[in-house]
Amino acid sequence: EDQVTQSPEALRLQEGESSSLNCSYTVSGLRGLFWYRQDPGKGPEFLFTLYSAGEEKEKERLKATLTKKESFLHITAPKPEDSATYLCAVQGGSEKLVFGKGTKLTVNP
Partner 1 sequence: DGGITQSPKYLFRKEGQNVTLSCEQNLNHDAMYWYRQDPGQGLRLIYYSQIVNDFQKGDIAEGYSVSREKKESFPLTVTSAQKNPTAFYLCASSEDRGRNTQYFGPGTRLTVL
Footprint on this chain of partner 1 (rule: CB under 8 A): 4, 31-32, 34, 36, 41-46, 49, 51, 87, 89, 91, 95-102
| Smaller CB separation from partner 1, 78 or 85 | 85
Give me the least distance between CB of 109 and partner 1, in Å please.
27
Give me the least distance between CB of 18 and partner 1, in Å please.
26
| Smaller CB separation from partner 1, 31 or 76 | 31
> For the range 14-17, what are the long-range contacts, defined as Cβ-Cβ under 8 Å and sequence gap of 24 or more?
14/107, 14/108, 15/77, 15/78, 15/79, 15/80, 15/107, 15/108, 15/109, 16/77, 16/78, 17/78
Cis bond upstream, residue 8 (ω within 30): yes
Give me the least distance between CB of 88 and partner 1, in Å please.
9
